[in-house]
Structure 1
Amino acid sequence: MSTTDQASLPSTTDTVPPGDIRSRLIDQWFPCATVDAAVGTPAGSGRSEKALFTWFASRPIAQARAAVLAALLPNKAVHHEDVRLTIEHGDASAQRRLREAIAAQYPAGRPVVLDVFSGRGIIPLEAARLGVTAVGTDLSPLATLAGRLLAEYPLRDWSAEPDLPLERPSDGEGLFGEDEPRLLQDVRMVLREVGERVAVAVSELYPRSSNGKFPWSYLWAVTIPCDNCKRRFPLIGSLVLRHPYQRTEDVGQALQLIVEDDAWRTTVVDGPPAQKPTFASATGKRGKSARCPFPTCGHMHTLESVKSIGHGGQYRDALLAVGEVLEGTRKTFRAPTEREFSVVETIDLSKLKPLSGLQASPDEAIPVGNNHTVRASAYGYRTYGELMNARQTVKFSATARVIQDVAAECVAAGISVEYATALAGYAAANLQRQLRLSTRGAKLRSHGSANGTAQNRAQVDHIFSDESKVSFNFDYVEAGPGDGPGTWYSVSESGLNALKKVMAESPVGRPGRFRRASAVALPFRDGSVDAVITDPPYYNMIDYADASDLFYVWLRRTLRELMPDLFDQPGSDGLQEKAEEIIVKNGNAPGEHRTRDFYEHMLSRAFSEARRVLRADGHLVVVFGHSDPDAWKRLLGALHDAGFIVTSSWPSRTETAVTGVASIKVTVTIGCRVAASHRPVATAVQADREVAERVKAAVREWDRDGFALTDQLMAAYGPAMEIYGRYRRILKPDGSQAELDRYLTLARTAVRDATALKLDQLPLETFDAPTRFAVFWQRLYARSDVPKGEARFLAQADNLRLEDLRGLLLTESKSGYKLRVDAPNTVTDKSSTFEVVRAMAAAWDQQATEGVAAVIAHSERPPTDVHLWAVVSEILAQLPTSDPVAKALTAVQRNAGAITNLAQRTAAELDPGKTDTQLSLSLNTEES
């Protein structure tokens, strides 16, 4: 690996006259709809590339490709169709024309694209494929390695390297035929060699089954001593091993716990479980508890009691069942043999030889305050080595040692150190991907259903099933050294397929360059970069370093001597350095420095560094997504403080398509330019008017382009921030400076106003704020569940707090928020029009005309209030006719005259001196 230093970045500062700010596509256009469609396809999602190396916050290939193209291409409509073709289909002719157009923009040399938070390297990969100079930096050594494996090594020419000193497969067949590229062929050979050597090295610890093969898996459970009877028992969360499957007449299999005197053992039985798990939630109660299975005891242990037993060092591992592969790929389970029980009792980790000068079993402590991220630490596990059982530790230690041996043999045979290091890197990545399926967080995943109607495959669930949090389970799976889910060979196949795809789609690419560096101290010259395109850490969504330290401790033992620039300079605790990690840390660690203020300060410093290395006509493009408006405020504030003007923001609904689960649905590609050095001062009145006019003009363009209204609300930040950035200061009438929040809210309000919503010819802005919110929500989402982030953003448009709307106008569930159309709890003279109308619908069902009239009178509204009756019409227009609320309001409309007369009489009868006009409604408050 040749390092990227200041001198190695080509300078192209003379290609454009000083002060000439060149407009790019990103400033005026972005293929949002094309990206949205492409991220749901195998080619555009990035899922294949993700299989090379486990990392977090996967950036879809389609979005990264669009961001790179839009940042480098000139703002000419002639390129729009080629961009779409390239993103949708990878059209070779379109790609060639775009590469030529980019090259024409930079006649003095290739443009330089830098990603200062490169992660796994998706953005540099897309830049490298265009033939430009692509550079990626990341504070994490693991992320830096991921970038090299994805966007450097596959694009390099290794054809001059001698043959590997490894025996080729006797059948001469590769996974992808005879014409596979050199790197792909050699990585396949190395992975096979490592797998075979490790199987030999650990074969005594994994007795073969009667068919001569290694079992594919072993099911374990943690045991604890009962607080009451003191007898030890296993914590089993599920007794299902394999669900039944009617199509193949498979009745399924289950664990059975047999208790005899003071001992217990497990057996495997056909059919569904006949017992209840020993660790589960009690019927009707939240939270799990552990039940002693001995008939004379049955003591229940709370979760806190179970945790205290672990913190007391009393957990022990016990082998429960063994998984085998029969008849091709069919999985079955059996009870362990006596030999299988005995071999695991003979393991002594103290006899393992050190790896790269470090203890073979990772003794690095899990930092305090990581219960949220490394879940096992909440149960008393203190080191990363304790996250797996002793036999797993021996197998992974053997794997690390074999990878080192194979690399050394390659160098001794004349292979270059660089190529041997690259091959070892792919093998270490395979070790890392197997770790993802091989700790106490990896549980048995039995597909299918109890009624046998679904296919009943058995797999291993990975430890990041809850996004970036390292899971923990008391019952977990250990993969064997042979073949099957979670094994070395199974993981190898997916990694090789990913490498094949990267190479096949990069026929004319130029290798990227990756180095470990902090985003606040970039090792590059001033003005040496044409575009900084980056995907910064998402505020408090992911604890990148803490979540990946499990990988770091093992890869450091594997690659420390081969990649000293990445693995020979850990933090003081032996883990990844976190002093400059720009996140908001989850959890409550004492003295934690990664706070909200730290995030904003460091992000501003990072953007200031990006500004320093950018050319005067360069662009910064930021891809960001978060459900919390505060995160957006801090991001945009950091950009402004660093001296950038936001020129555009383009939303893409990318996250669920990539990850399957996500706490956000929309990410935004934000275009930025360096702010002019001498900017004027403006009044808030002037800036407010310009923002409203600019956003409304943009809305007209977005309407023509078919932008969804919900996406326009987020895209509005771009033009609003462009106006905000034009001025050095914006002064309010009292002389104070206008806050950023003012213009984020104004942007969304302008979108809503630009839609010119009217209720019975009454402009929406003439209604009270909660009613405006409710009506706009109903137009956007009807009765659908809305994620918390989108709900919070929508509330901002009317200067409302989501917390104040919960229960009043919205109901909350795990699926998100939904607009209430049922009866409110109370109605007062301060109730919104929308609430009064809901109360009118409920009152009709109970007291007909008289009830509705009473509601109107006690709300102190004129019975002929046009706003009141406009909302009645609006709710009716949005609800299906079969809805009970719609039926009630239809009757209210038909009897409007009678209701008006009754309401007038009721109001006249009320005591004029009465100050408490609240009407308590004894109505059914459940949602219709």
Structure 2
Amino acid sequence: MTADTTAVPRRKLIEVALPLEKINAESAREKSIRHGHPSTLHLWWSRKPLATARAVLFAQLVDDPSSHPDRFPTDEAVATERKRLHELIEQLVAWENTGDQNLLRRAHEEILSSTNGNPPAILDPFAGGGSIPLEAQRLGLEAHASDLNPVAVLINKALIEIPPKFAGRPPVFPGAAEAQINTWPRATGLAEDVRRYGQWVRDEAQKRIGHLYPKANVLDGTAANVIAWIWARTVTCPNPACSIEMPLTSSWWLGKKKGKEAYVVPVVADGEVHFTIGHDVKNAPTKDNDGTVRRTGATCIGCGAAVEFSYIRTEGRAGRLGAQLMAIVAEGKRTRIYLAPTDEHENAARVPEPVEMPDGYLPTEALGFRVQPYGMTEYTDLFTLRQLTALTTFSDLIGEARERVLADTLALGLPEGASLESGGTGAAAYADAVATYLGFAISRMTNKSSSICSWDSSTKMEAVRSVFARQALSMSWDFAESSPWGGSGGDYLEDLLWISRVLDRASIGPVGQAWQSDAQRAVQRQVLISTDPPYYDNIGYSDLSDFFYVWLRRSLRRVHPELLSTMLVPKADELVANPYRHGGKDGAHVFFESGFREVFSHARESAFPDYPITVYYAFKQQDVDGSGEASTGWETLLEGMIRSGWMITATWPMRSELSNRMRSFDSNSLASSIVLALRPRTADAPTIDRRGFINALKDELPQALRDLQQGAIAPVDLPQAAIGPGMAVFSRFSGVLTDDGAKMTVRSALTRINEILDEVLAEQEGDFDSDTRFAIAWFRQHGFEAGKFGDADNMARARNASLEHLERSGILISRAGKVSLLSPSVLGEVYVGKDYDPAADPHISTWEVVMHLARALTEKGVPAAASLLSRVPASIDRDLCKELAFLLFTIAEDAKRTQVAVEFNSLGTAWNDIVAESRTASTQLTLDA
């Protein structure tokens, strides 16, 4: 895949060509990798995959061979060299190769060759979860990470500052170094100390509060470890004749594994609610009677009274929401054991409020916060008293553990030296470093140790669901209280092991630098920028991160006194469009726009002339004004970049979002980011009139869109991705002049780009066979609903098709004067128990192939769709199949046919995976033949 770019001196690889399919495949795969992945160090929102960041940085610095005609004088020589570089990138992006020092050394040598032996330092001024600075360091570059949020800064310090400082040192825990004969490479010694001192913290905590977490007595008389306690919030029934403490629960289900089903059975007796455990599938909860809380309110299980949310909120604000134990989850032999509650276990949770809890009030208004109306006003309100007791106990032990590390390090003869925050590398700094990771384990622990956590009863999980399963703080009616010693989510030692695995695999390059700063100040130095800016108004990073910050501050404020000096995360200068903080929607937009313009203006002043900067974006076009012009965070970001003197030289769609995240289910959420390469626009850049701009768009956009469609981009992302090449045209001019001589705004340019996109997609219809053209036209009017026979007949004749042939070919059904297209789900009913064989279909069309592929993908996943595609005759153009999936998604979304749009979006998103797997299936078919 090749980007259409403006000629610039020594173009970089990212401005010409990338092995996009492999990068995206590894980026998508990486989201499912857990053990040792840096993302498991601590939660952060919308991290970029390491594979994407690594490939972008490498291609941002390495010259494209076409920039060296003296070395590569022919097209063949350029293609051969480019292929070599692409093969290197393909090796680099594989997760298994992240620790391959020989491969990383080769990559660094390529960078040195293209940078005259002096590569620039890399800065991400919105560092967040740290993917970009970490990958810069892995490639042997000087890495800088800046963020206003202290939680993000601490994550980046833990990734790029601390491990290189203490690389190669053996552990100091007594006896630990002698337990291993060989040396302690990279940060493995630090990782071992984190495990050893973390084990001490865990054991000491169990001595102090272990009695609050009793074991469960199972049916065979043995005592089993408890994984979690399942509670239901309660409220007094407003019906005076009832007045029970009615349970509020969204589901009665505990486990749904076939043959091991378990659910809560509520029983009301003598004005009280009791719970038992049921296993009989015949009496299991159904969709109609599962839980007591619905979208409109709750139902009392005692009298059947409907209870409005307004009553529950009032009771919550008055402090009258209670909680009752519904079930105990114990650890069995490779299974979960669900037990009815007992007085012992319910009483064990009734503990006094601990002293010295974290301070901090929840925001009165914030993006994604839903709990305040129920009386939760402080961060401590998000935890039970037993959870608060456990977390404060562990937190207190961090300071004690640090003193033990310091004493043990001094005993080995290392001087105490300055603190870690002051830049030290001696005993005090090392003790601070170990304490930092121990504190991270507590912060990780809170994500599954809150009364906002729920129980995931699905067949694949049966586990505590984290607070931030979504990028929000939402009310949880029934909640799961994990055990700090349960061996599952919420267990301190489990969280500690996730952290130590990251350290074991830590990249040891030049010592990086992470500091707290707003982006405007961070870019006032000559560094090369690669960054993933905040998502306009989609995520309230600062408010959400306070959930972790209050505990990190309690555990580590003596270790990082300056960084953790504020009571809560700084918010006033956070560069997101928060209407609650900036006087409404308009004020938030102005704040965001002016902030970004300042960031990119400073970056323009200190830009390197020899390298493009790279910027990721994942905004959706959201608002349309009366003139039909789109207004978005993307528009605002573009205004900041283009008005600051930048031009776009390349755009690439990157698969960066996890396709199975909760937010993406049953929705057309963005699955991709678009990476922009930008260079300073020259001072003598010409202007162009409106007509010339539109003609340039019509010349360049069609091929750019085909390139995008053939990349691994989801159909839902195509309108966003098309903005990139369109704005590349717009940004190369110093101005696009309208009829009255004024400069066209970015908003107006986006409107023109969207219009050309619609024209290009419409023109693509001419490439399809007549059967498919009819089906597209009928789908545009009726979807999969029935329409009049006469209308369909006229439409078919106009496209040189016949309804009789279309019905015979399996595209539609005609009955009683009505015609309807066969949807993928209907095809599933037609072919139930049968296998559709495209190779034996005498009337096959692109439309029919896409319908069957959508059916196969929905019913059985990528392998089934790939197997089907491998049997499609060569007469069917696979590229046209993908184009059709994109087109049908666009039509369905415009017509608000959400579920249908989701099906075709899924097919377009998975297309490259289906094609890749179909090649293997085709080879096997050939061998079998």
Q: Does 1:447 align with 2:463?
A: no
Q: Aligned equivalents of 1:394 and 1:68: distance in 2?
A: 45
CA contact (8 A) 1:842 1:885 kept: no
Query: Cα gap change, 1:257/1:281 in structure 2, threshold over 3 Å: closer, same or farther?
Result: closer
Which secondary structure does the structure 2 equivalent of 1:600 belong to?
A: helix
Is the aligned partner of 1:52 residue 2:41?
yes
- 2:406 is aligned to 411
Aligned pairs for 1:307-456 within 5 A: 307-327=313-333, 329-345=334-350, 347-349=351-353, 352=355, 354=356, 360=357, 362-370=358-366, 373-413=368-408, 414=410, 416-448=427-459
Q: What is the CA deviation profile of residues 161-190 of structure 1, one whole-angstrom value per residue up to 9, with x for unaligned ones?
A: 66135x7599x699x999992122122213
Residues 577-612 of structure 1, C-alpha deviations (whole Å, 9 max, x = no match) = 111112233779976897233222222222223223
**1:843 aligned partner:** 790
Decide whether aligned partners of structure 1 residues 31 and 155 sit closer, same or farther in structure 2, where only a CA change above 3 A counts.
Answer: farther
Confirm or deny: 8 A CA contact 1:442 1:473 kept in the other structure.
yes
- Local SS of the residue matching 1:621: strand
Distance in 2 between residues matched to 1:436 and 1:180, nearest whole Å:
26
Tell me by how many angstroms 1:45 deviates.
Answer: 6.4
Q: CA deviation at 1:277?
A: 10
- Equivalent pair of 1:483/1:490 in contact (CA under 8 Å): no
One of 295, 301, 309 as aligned partner of 1:303: 309
Q: Quote the residue 2:838 is aligned against.
A: none
Could you give the per-residue CA deviations for residues 756-779 of structure 1, whole angstroms, max 9, x where no partner exists? 947779999xxxxxxxxx979949
- Using the alignment, how far apart are the partners of 1:272 and 1:398 within structure 2? 42
Q: Distance in 1 between matches of 2:484 and 2:559?
A: 25
In the TM superposition, what whole-angstrom CA distance separates every residue of 1:819-869 from its partner, at most 9, and x where no partner exists? 73656xxxxxxxxxxxxxxx6x54358xx8xxx6xxxxxxxxxxxxxx996
1:236 aligns with 2:183: no
Distance of aligned partners of 1:39 and 1:726 in 2 relative to their CA distance in 1, 3 Å threshold: closer
Does structure 1 residue 293 correspond to structure 2 residue 301? yes
Aligned equivalent of 2:544, options 538, 542, 547: 547
Q: Does the CA-based 8 Å contact 1:112-1:134 persist in structure 2?
A: yes
The residue aligned with 1:652 is 654
Change (3 A) 1:762 1:180: closer
Letter in 2 for 1:38: E
Aligned counterpart, 1:11: none
Task: Choose from 599, 612, 635 the match for 1:606.
Answer: 599
CA distance in 2, matches of 1:875, 1:111: 65
On the 8 A contact 1:442/1:471 being kept in 2, the answer is no
Q: Which amino acid aligns with 1:255?
A: V
What is the alpha-carbon distance in structure 2 between the residues aligned to residue 474 and residue 694 of structure 1?
54
Aligned residue number for residue 556 of structure 2: 559
Post-superposition offset of 1:265: 3.2
Question: What residue is the counterpart of 1:121 in the other structure?
Answer: 130
1:198 corresponds in structure 2 to 205
1:389 offset after TM fit, Å?
Answer: 0.8
1:472 aligns with 2:475: yes
Aligned residues: 759
How big is each residue's C-alpha offset from its partner over 1:229-287, in whole Å with a ceiling of 9 and x where there is no partner? Answer: 333232233333334643xxx4x44333343323333344554595879997899x962
Cα distance in 2 between the residues matched to 1:188 and 1:242: 33
In structure 1, the residue matched to 2:852 is: none
In the aligned structure 1, how far is the partner of 2:736 from the partner of 2:352?
Answer: 69
Change (3 A) 1:31 1:440: same
> What's the Cα RMSD here?
4.3
Q: Secondary structure at the match of 1:606?
A: helix
Contact 2:250 2:291 in 1 (8 A): no
Contact residue 653 and residue 674 of structure 2 kept, 8 A: yes
The match for 2:783 is 820
Using the TM superposition, give the Cα deviation of residue 564 of structure 1 relative to its aligned residue in structure 2, in angstroms: 1.9
The question of whether the paired residues in 2 share the 8 Å contact of 1:651 and 1:667 is answered with yes
For residue 496 of structure 1, the aligned residue among 500, 508, 529 is 500
Structure 1: distance between partners of 2:230 and 2:352: 21
Letter of the structure 2 residue corresponding to residue 397 of structure 1: T
Q: For 2:14, which of 26, 32, 35 is the aligned residue?
A: 26
- Counterparts of 1:670 and 1:651 in 2: how far apart (Å)? 9
CA deviation string 1:63-109 (max 9, x = no partner)? 11121111111122522332223224637655433211211333463
Alignment partners' CA distance in 1, 2:581 and 2:309: 20
CA distance in 2, matches of 1:778, 1:123: 43
Cα distance 1:728–1:593, how it changes in 2: closer, same or farther (>3 A)? closer
Q: Which runs of 5+ in 2 are unaligned?
A: 1-6, 66-77, 411-425, 623-631, 822-896, 901-929
Deviation string for 1:429-471 (max 9, x for gaps)? 22122211121221122233xxxxxx7x631111222x21123
* Residues in 2 aligned to 1:885 and 1:875: alpha-carbon distance in whole angstroms: 9
d(CA) in 1 for partners of 2:145 and 2:268?
Answer: 58
Name the aligned partner's letter for residue 549 of structure 2.
Y
Deviation of the 1:556 alpha carbon: 1.0
* Aligned partner letter, 1:544: Y
2:349 counterpart SS class: helix
- Deviation for aligned residue 1:696: 5.0
- 3-state SS of paired residue (2:550): helix
TM-score calculated relative to the size of structure 1:
0.73
Contact 1:58 1:659 in 2 (8 A): no
Distance, in Å, in 2 between the alignment partners of 1:302 and 1:281 is 18
Shift of 1:668: 0.5
Query: Structure 2: which amino acid aligns with 1:513?
Result: Q
Q: What SS does the aligned partner of 1:50 have?
A: helix
Letter in 2 for 1:512: G
Amino acid at match of 1:693: D
When residues 496 and 759 of structure 1 are mapped into structure 2, their CA distance, relative to the original with a 3 A threshold, is: closer
Q: Structure 1 counterpart of 2:635, which letter?
A: K
**Which residue identity is paired with 2:376?**
Y
Q: Residues 870-927 of structure 1: CA distance to partner in whole angstroms, max 9, x if unpaired? A: 45759999999323368989999xxxxxxxxxxxxxxxxxxxxxxxxxxxxxxxx999
**SS of residue in 2 equivalent to 1:637:** helix
Aligned pairs (5 A) from 1:244-263: 245-246=258-259, 250=260, 252-263=261-272
Matches within 5 A, 1:62-81: 62-76=51-65, 78=81, 79-81=85-87
1:106 correspondence with 2:115? yes
Amino acid in structure 2 at the alignment position of 1:390 = L
Distance 1:707 1:228 in 2: 55
Q: Please, what TM-score do these two structures have when normalized by structure 2?
A: 0.73
* 2:629 aligned with 1:627: no
- Change over 3 Å in CA distance of 1:228–1:418 after alignment to 2: same
Worse overlay, 265-274 or 199-208: 265-274
**Distance of 1:54 and 1:601 partners within structure 2:** 30
Larger radius of gyration: 1
The alpha carbon displacement at 1:707 in A equals 9.1
- In 2, the alpha carbon distance for the partners of 1:96 and 1:266 equals 62
Matched residue SS, 1:234: strand
What percentage of residue pairs aligned between the two structures are identical?
24
Asked if structure 2 preserves the Cα contact closer than 8 Å seen for 1:430 and 1:492, the reply is yes
Aligned to 2:810: 882
Deviations along 1:608-667, whole A, 9 cap, x unmatched?
232234323342201111232623222222211222111111112332347475421221
Q: What corresponds to 2:836 in structure 1?
A: none
Tell me: CA distance 1:678–1:239, structure 2 relative to 1, closer, same or farther (3 Å).
Answer: same
2:452 corresponds to 1:461:
no
Closer/same/farther in 2, CA of residues 590 and 440 from structure 1, 3 Å limit: farther
2:517 corresponds to = 517
Structure 2 Cα separation of the partners of residues 42 and 437 of structure 1: 23
Distance 1:153 1:376 in 2: 37
Q: Deviations over 1:719-761 (max 9, x none)?
A: 4323322332221222232232444344455567678947779
Spell out, residue by residue over 1:381-435, the C-alpha distance to the aligned partner (whole angstroms, 9 max, x if none).
Answer: 1111000111100000011111121012212332623222222222222212221
Tell me what 1:537 maps to. 534
Task: Say if 2:31 and 2:49, in contact at 8 Å, map to a contact too.
Answer: no
